[in-house]
Structure 1
Amino acid sequence: MHEVLGEEWLAQAVDLLVRLVEAAGAIVIFVGAAVAFCWFLVAAVRERRPEAFVPVRLGLGRFLALGLEFQLASDILRTAIAPTLRAIGELAAIAAIRTALNYFLSREIREERAELDRRPDPAAPDATPLDDTDLPR
């Protein structure tokens, strides 16, 4: 009698899930790149200042970080069924590389965000208090 949830069926199901998660990661990265490119064009035409591209980089960085998480999830799924020592070693190497990429990407996003938060908003009214020299006489 054939098992309903035999190892071959389970392997095929996990393979399908791996492909779906990989596709989701690829789509997230592609959409992020497309959106960032549109933001880049708008910033290039309107502003033409280097600071205008920082939000574009931050947005793209978020998409890349999310896409990398999906890719790592697919790698973990791939080794979920009867992993070999070689597959575990490959997963460890891939996970280390993707985790390092994600760490540095997240750190750069945090630093860029902090830099943006420190910059005064040119559209905001001057919030510095008046002193005696600023008053009309």
Structure 2
Amino acid sequence: MEHPWGQAALANLVDLLLMLVEAAGAVVIFIGASVAFVQFVGAAIRGRHTVDFVPIRLGLGRFLTLGLEFQLAGDILRTAVSPTLREIAELAAIATIRTALNYFLTKEIQEARAELSGRVDVTAPGPARGTP
């Protein structure tokens, strides 16, 4: 006798969770892109788009990184119920690609932060370097 919460019910629950997680990832990416676009337009109107570009990219990169994490979680959920060898292989390929994207995006964010703090150190008023 099959349990009332059998495989079909579990698969339906996982499908619902999958939709929610993938939607969350899409919403995070959309919000990040929207915020970055509004900031870029504002900087362009002020004529400062080249100066403000790095912080805008940095903010967008954080949203993209988070969105990719949600998408990877969705991929893992997709294979949670009775995965086939093919689904496991696809998950491994997708996870590798998304992890590589995330790695390089994080690396670029770190470089942008370093560039931004280097620019702030050079242009910020205050004591000269090397003085307390």
Normalising by structure 1, we get a TM-score of 0.87
Quick check: which has more Rg, 1 or 2?
Answer: 1
Higher helix share: 2
Please give the root-mean-square deviation of Cα atoms over the aligned residues, in Å.
1.7
Preserved contact between residue 68 and residue 102 of structure 2 (Cα < 8 Å): yes
Q: CA deviation at 1:53?
A: 0.6
Amino acid at match of 1:36: A
Provide the C-alpha distance between the structure 2 equivalents of 1:78 and 1:89, rounded to a whole number of angstroms. 13
Q: CA deviation at 1:35?
A: 0.5
Change (3 A) 1:38 1:121: farther
Partner of 1:35: 35
Q: Which runs of 5+ in 2 are unaligned?
A: none
Provide the C-alpha distance between the structure 1 equivalents of 2:10 and 2:120, rounded to a whole number of angstroms. 56
Provide the C-alpha distance between the structure 2 equivalents of 1:122 and 1:37, rounded to a whole number of angstroms. 27
Preserved contact between residue 28 and residue 63 of structure 2 (Cα < 8 Å): yes
Change (3 A) 1:22 1:120: closer
Moved over 4 A (4+): none
Partner of 1:14: 14
Deviation string, structure 1 residues 63-87 (Cα, Å, up to 9, x no partner): 0000000000000011011100000
Amino acid at match of 2:33: A
Provide the C-alpha distance between the structure 1 equivalents of 2:79 and 2:109, rounded to a whole number of angstroms. 31
Partner of 2:45: 45
Normalising by structure 2, we get a TM-score of 0.90
Q: CA deviation at 1:123?
A: 7.2
Partner of 1:132: none
Q: CA deviation at 1:4?
A: 1.7
Partner of 2:88: 88
Preserved contact between residue 40 and residue 49 of structure 2 (Cα < 8 Å): no
Provide the C-alpha distance between the structure 1 equivalents of 2:30 and 2:111, rounded to a whole number of angstroms. 24
State percent identity of aligned pairs. Answer: 65
Counting matched residue pairs gives 129
Provide the C-alpha distance between the structure 1 equivalents of 2:124 and 2:70, rounded to a whole number of angstroms. 39
Decide which moves more: 51-60 or 21-30.
51-60
